[in-house]
């Protein structure tokens, strides 16, 4: 028998909601209102299906049962897919706060990142996933209530690109396939037990999403690079108060967008690279200045596309 990693080893950064810190981080995400509201609703129903029954009683008397069944029978999985640095992890780590407030119950997040799996021993990803689902089932079991659950658990499987690789892909390593199977078994187990638990899976590679995983997803939310309005919002909020003029911000918005075949900046390119670079260029002896900020933006290269994204763009043309 393998040693099952303990709850603390597996999920060092467990988070409980409601909590004001994730609430603030959630509020800071720009242009994701649609994803936020869809995700909060889906997760809300998974951890608290009575909410939907209340709604049905209120608006449709007893007539909604057949409709409720199809909604409530969906497997408890939501996939967040899309570009690097587009807010998937940030949303996944903070949406529990919206769910907790909306459903008026305590939610716990179990965050598991598969990013570093590569260095692991053979079988490690499979073991991690099995253990993660085991802990999730145990925790959710304790929260199962007579009518309404006493709380809910969200298992976050982040950086799950290895799981997104299709099982059909010939080049897929045997070990990865075992990982996908462990993931699918876990989802099915949660679904069958009807526990107040849901799984969020984040991946950069939607196109390679395994068909068996895709089929189980109650919803797939996609994330893209920020559009003009979103870039404008992020940049003007931070640079406007420093005296960068509206037309200079506008030029920055243009300089950080798509140009011909080249992709524009990602959200994290803006918040974690460009804005800090602009500030640190001026620091410590000068103020931030619009013209210099524009020059810095023009010299900076946005994060290259994931291969998936290139293919998607080509297909869209």
Ligand X SMILES: Nc1ncnc2c1ncn2[C@@H]1O[C@H](COP(=O)(O)OP(=O)(O)O)[C@@H](O)[C@H]1O
Is there binding between residue 131 and ligand X (CB under 6 A)?
A: no
Q: How far is CA 120 from CA 45, 111, 115, 123, 135, in A?
A: 35, 18, 11, 8, 20
Exposed e or buried b for every residue in 58-71, given b needs 16+ CB within 10 A? Answer: eeeeeebeeebeee
Closest to 112 in 3D by CA, of 52, 157, 160: 157
Is there binding between residue 89 and Mg ion (CB under 5 A)?
A: yes
- Give the one residue of 15, 89, 136, 165 binding ligand X; rule: CB under 6 A: 89
- Give the one residue of 22, 75, 85, 196 binding ligand X; rule: CB under 6 A: 85
| Closest distance of CB 172 from ligand X, Å | 23
Is there binding between residue 96 and ligand X (CB under 6 A)?
A: no
| Closest distance of CB 205 from ligand X, Å | 12
| Closest distance of CB 268 from Mg ion, Å | 9
Partner that binds at residue 52, options ligand X, Mg ion, none, CB closer than 5 to 8 Å by kind:
none
Q: Judge contact between 134 and 78, C-beta under 8 A.
A: no
Q: How far is CA 237 from CA 42, 153, 200, 240, 245, in A?
A: 31, 35, 30, 6, 12
How many residues are listed for the chain in this entry?
317
Query: How far is it, in rounded angstroms, from Cα 244 to Cα 287?
Result: 10
| Closest distance of CB 89 from ligand X, Å | 3
Nearest residue (beta carbon) to ligand X: 87
Binders of ligand X in range 3-32 (CB under 6 A)? 29-32
Binders of ligand X in range 147-206 (CB under 6 A)? 202
- Rule CB under 6 A: which residues touch ligand X? 29-32, 84-90, 202, 223, 234, 267-268, 271-272
- Rule CB under 5 A: which residues touch Mg ion? 89
């Amino acid at each position: 028998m393998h040693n099952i990693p303990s709850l603390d080893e597996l999920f060092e950064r467990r988070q409980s909601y409601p909590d004001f810190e994730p609430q603030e981080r959630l509020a800071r995400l720009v242009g994701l209102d649609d994803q936020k509201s869809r995700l909060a609703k889906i997760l809300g129903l998974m951890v608290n299906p009575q909410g939907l029954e209340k709604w049905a009683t209120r608006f449709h008397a007893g007539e909604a049962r057949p409709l409720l069944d199809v909604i409530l029978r969906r497997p408890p999985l939501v996939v967040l897919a899309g570009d690097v640095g587009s807010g998937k992890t940030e949303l996944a780590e903070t949406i529990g706060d919206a769910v907790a407030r909306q459903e008026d119950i305590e939610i716990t997040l179990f965050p598991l990142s598969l990013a570093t799996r590569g260095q692991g021993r053979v079988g490690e990803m499979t073991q991690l996933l099995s253990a993660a689902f085991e802990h999730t089932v145990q925790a959710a079991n304790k929260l199962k209530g007579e009518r309404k659950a006493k709380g809910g658990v969200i298992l976050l499987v982040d950086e799950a690109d290895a799981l997104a690789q299709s099982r059909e892909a010939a080049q897929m390593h045997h070990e990865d396939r075992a990982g996908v199977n462990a993931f699918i078994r876990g989802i099915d187990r949660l679904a069958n037990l009807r526990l107040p638990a849901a799984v969020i899976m984040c991946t950069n590679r939607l196109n390679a999403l395994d068909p068996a995983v895709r089929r189980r997803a109650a919803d797939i939310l996609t994330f893209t690079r920020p559009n003009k309005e979103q870039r404008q919002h992020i940049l003007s909020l931070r640079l406007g108060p420093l005296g960068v003029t509206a037309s200079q911000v506008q030029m920055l918005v243009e300089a950080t967008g798509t140009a011909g075949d080249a992709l524009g900046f990602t959200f994290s390119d803006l918040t974690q690279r460009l804005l800090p670079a602009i500030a640190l260029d001026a620091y410590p002896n000068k103020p931030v200045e619009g013209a210099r900020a524009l020059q810095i933006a023009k010299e900076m290269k946005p994060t290259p596309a994931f291969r998936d994204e290139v293919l998607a763009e080509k297909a869209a043309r």
